[in-house]
Amino acid sequence: MKTTSLKLMAGLVLLAGSLGLQAQTWPSQPIKIIVPFTPGTGMDTIARAVGPRLSERLGQPVIVQNTPGASGNIGADAVAKSNPDGHTLLMGANTMLMASQIYKNVPFDPVKDFSSVSLAAWGTLMLVANPKTNLRTMSELVTAAKAKPGSVTFGSPGVGTPHHMAMELFKARTGLFMLHVPYRGTAGYTNDLLGGEIMVGFLPVHIAQGFVKAGRLNALAVGSPKRHPVAPEVATFGELGVKDVEVDLWYAFFSPSKTPAPVVSKLNTEIATIMRLPEIKDLLGRAGMDAAASTTDELTALVAKDYPRWGDVIRRNGVKPE
């Protein structure tokens, strides 16, 4: 018994030493940040802003690789199956928690197969209506949708996108039935929302506010817990009496699960420091995002809270892939 205990203690000491040595020698090769969407998206913007600065701080090249497909599932799966040595990172978002529950046979678990590194940014969505609808307030939208279920149309850049899921959450909380018109991308969706081909929809607050000020869209509510400084005059859903409709986008860095804790801690320190730089805040602000940072535990808690929340909405509303 005593011999077994000594062997166990020796094994633990060796393991701790191995992890410590791994952290000291890391990074020993270029670091790859996989973006599971196309260039020009919010995730891509963040990754390409962080990459050069992370390279400077760690002394190794940082390569940004776009691996789009299946609403982000292909790129996320590539990271989940990569070597957990801290040299492959995922530039993820809460869309990962949605898409993995919409598509069948997703080969990874978004909660168990990743280690949280750090939050990177937030993006607020605004619910808007085309002025031709004469919908000027959220209460008018609710009244119209309840009076004739299915008569109100809403659009999105595609099934499972944040714009779509935000409306599904709003529908679930209000008991409304509205007709979804999914597009294949943001451009067509935004153009038809502005043209009145669809009645209502969600847009990032920085984009929506410009159209609101120009009189091309009516602002109904913002999906953040607090009013956004870009549109301080627009009330939150909570202020308007609809609780638990917080639909902010969040972006974050992840590594494969089983990445050594000292490596994850070092990544968190460096990335969090970068996200707090004034030039990063300015760069992301111009792209419609609010730079942020977190501890690994805070990000893990956010994932644990959001995963079942979106899963409930997907199942309750019967959301299916296109």
Give 145-203 pLDDT, tens digit per residue. Answer: 999 999 999 999 888 889 999 999 999 999 999 999 999 888 899 999 999 999 999 99
Residue 18 falls inside a structural domain: no
Sheet strand arrangement including 153-156: 179-182, 153-156, 200-204, 125-129, 218-222
For residue 76, what are its two tokens? 């996320």
How much of the chain exceeds pLDDT 70, in percent?
93
Q: What is the mean pLDDT of residues 271-296?
A: 95
Q: DSSP readout, 96-159?
A: HHHHHHHSTT-SS-TTTSEEEEEEEEEE-EEEEE-GGGT--SHHHHHHHHHHSTT-SEEEESST
pTM of the model: 0.85
Q: Report the C-alpha gap between 205 and 104 in whole angstroms.
A: 32
Q: What is the mean pLDDT of residues 138-142?
A: 97
pLDDT in tens, 118-130: 999 999 999 999 9
Whether the per-residue pLDDT at 280 is higher than 80: the answer is: yes
Sheet strand arrangement including 88-93: 62-66, 31-35, 88-93, 249-256, 114-123, 290-291
pLDDT in tens, 72-94: 899 999 999 999 999 999 999 99
How much is the pLDDT for 189? 95
Q: How many domains does one find in the chain?
A: 2
Residue 86 falls inside a structural domain: yes
Estimate to the nearest angstrom the gap between the alpha carbon of 301 and the chain centroid. 14
Q: Which of 222, 257, 291 is the last residue of a domain?
A: 222
Total residue length of the chain: 322
Q: What is the mean pLDDT of residues 216-242?
A: 95
Domain range spanning residue 266?
30-122+249-317
Residue 25 falls inside a structural domain: no
Alpha-helix runs per DSSP H in the chain? 2-25, 42-58, 73-80, 95-102, 138-147, 162-174, 186-195, 205-213, 261-275, 278-286, 296-317
**CATH number of the domain that residue 57 is part of:** 3.40.190.150
**CATH number of the domain that residue 206 is part of:** 3.40.190.10
